[in-house]
Structure 1
């Protein structure tokens, strides 16, 4: 990662694993804007964004289906909790279908969190974990829990028909749920997870992952669709602008 731009992403505690994928932070200590390209990764991000001289902003970012170039101004300190889709219904408790490829700014009193208490990453990790734990539901539909577990463990490669059979939930009902709560079909979401799985291969220089792409051309088209560049260019990751790939290279 470029010196002066610091980032960290840690996994959640085991009791949050069905709902949270990671908890992280980044800080731009550079004298200039830091260019980053956000890639579709199947997560729903809740940002606590602090820019010098401005009040804290709390921003909920929906699922992405295309790459987006952004610029992080100098001095920005941000904390983020990245949710798995199951959290949309059970933790956030409202649909995000309307914010695919966009974001919604939330009130500063969201969840009654005090940003001034986030003195460092460890304090944020503990306080945001405690808050989400307090919001955990007493009941979760086991069909949905199993569905998302299988989608994640298979990196989106399990066929819809098989997911339906193993959850006892019809494909029509699953797609209705996905479109209502997330704004995407199940197939579209699985395609994003499959692209994301390919990133760990690309980060290691393997430009044709052994995933269920029909051929090299299909793979290149999918990577370009979701990243804006071909696999070879993505692997180069000039100026560490593809932050997700930078994280994978370090892991």
Structure 2
């Protein structure tokens, strides 16, 4: 008798959109798909893990794709794209001038950072001054306390920044959508090419099924979501899921792939990432 294959090892964030999407898969409720091993890590960590070739499947920033597509392939589902869900630049004053200013960002390998740099190239003639990388939860306090001139924030900060007395200086997503007409690409699901085409197709189908199961019975995922939501208010968690889990999560589709190619092509033209080959995003 041949030994049972080892379970897949997944790494994704504890954010509500990820736990909502992967709840059924993580708990072995997707028919025909054994429960994987799961490691929770913020996306800046999973970006680094992917560059080291760690884990079979990871949630990463689209910004890191040019560095990992030799080892991983982009799955056509499970990730985060959308409209009206872009990162924000926050400041203490509503009309702050950021030219030459210090900006705190959660990562320099994130999609949010690429969107910020593309926005800055279009709108800040003097350019940005110093970039400071801070843990996500430290950014809004640092802006509030005057330690930095502005902060780039993502996820639930869209709903909570006013609690810190801060103002939205710009919405990176609005700028992206206005200049491209495309949805905003944020987080990607990638899997090792070495798994093989058949296994990758089964995995993509299982993730789509997990997404559909979460939509059909949202309450089934709630314990998993709230267990890992880092003391987030349930209403904020629901807003988070509503914003980041949408039709592009079930399938990237033509517009989704166009958004990813558009982001990485523009970023390469600015010298922010290496250029992609014409077939780099092909699946499987």
State the TM bucket, normalised to the shorter chain.
under 0.3
TM-score by length of structure 2 reads 0.25
Looking at both structures, which has the greater relative contact order when contacts are Cα pairs under 8 Å and sequence separation is at least 6? 2
TM-score, with structure 1 as normaliser: 0.28
